[in-house]
Structure 1
């Protein structure tokens, strides 16, 4: 890719790379939207005088499944208009053109590029901030709950469309300069309810989760090929609980360590160990009151989760706990 890239007739200068995914790369770009570009519904202003920084996600789709997921991500972003979900500014789908290929080779190529333009969040992801802080407390109790509540609200909006995110984690949550959390990376999304009635059903879900759901934040039923029942939005609730733990005691989640990696058995058993220094981090056991840490991590057994939480109920519960914390 050269130093500039065109998107729907707008020209953007590439200033650097922000990240790399499975079949995508995200660039920091600068440019100006033309007046007739598809602006966001929040009335984002068009600035004729200055270039603006954006995040440009470029997905190389070599097969039908990659293209299907990319198109699903575009459609999801277009449908979701919520302050806790990353806003899509504009997008384009086109054939990939390679310089060293002839015009005929390019015409015959099945590879498509899907480009998505997003706002830039200079603070980066929650995981980036947690890694920088290392073992020092990054957020106090009310900040943890405020951020957690925003993430839960974003997930609630995704669930309202009949989909589960399936990869909620600190690395997929951006933070604005006002500490508003923004859920991103919707390409991992799956139907909200997936019945598992056979070994084949279970194997397909486990295989898909291994590809699209980060192991330390992955719910037990997405590991267990003996599971029978319905995989549902509670997978995201589990991941939300892991994320709350990382916010309070990070930079790692409850089921990973630097020495032992991902602790699969602990995930399957719902075994959570809180750090001995937890009381000095400024976060009390009130985080457990939200219902997703400690007792809230419960193993999936007999075809259904013992935890009764949904993202909607979790958002309401988080709001109540936050209000109580602020009133003290």
Structure 2
């Protein structure tokens, strides 16, 4: 069965946790087996956990899970929660009798999106990470869930999106993303998504391009200040890749943000793409096949960004941004 989710790739499960009254949450992507991965960071204000080791020249190759979370720097604690759940299951990097689950993560800023952030001494994100990892499964919700609870764009509610597709040679590529962009995912003030040329089966409304491009479509407009933004994503494939090839996949997948968000990769954002290889079947050759894989990853990420905004619902707070469906549906 094709779900049009990143979990169309066997060996990947996704879980969410969050609190609507808080206006924030976390998402955990759990890999059934230790997984090779890398990362590409393009935004000027990123927030990350355990990402240096994802570079090809570092020692640890295998990842157990990845967290995407709201909460700004507080949300990095979601990784500790996911790590606790995995440790209970005996998962992790083994050094004699010690077992350390490897859980990189990234965060977005949603502290000003509404909700009661007066959580006391300790933020709730560690518990969100544990609960999300515990809830991880193949079928999962999109929109205002997990890391997408407090996500926004300049004009519309942001959200958690996912999509998948196959290459001509049969490899699957999937993406999951929490879109909290300084820019817009729609063209001008209308309902048309920048990602429209890549849409499959009306997955985000089927509106296509506007009949005429609005005159102000390319004007620079931004929602907020430094670190009030950030789009965080993960792409994955069932092709067997080296760490260096996963790095190239992450770099190419970043083009999906450029196809779906305008403007993007600004000093106001912290845009990040993780890339993971969960497969055992090698590419038929290392250059052309990886190029095809990366091109498709960018397309799938663009679709996931639009889909997350399309599926979002507004937060129940006065002054909250409208959802796409409330405004245009």
| TM norm structure 2 | 0.23
Q: Which has the larger radius of gyration?
A: 1
Q: Which has the higher contact order (CA 8 A, sep 6+)?
A: 2
| TM norm structure 1 | 0.23
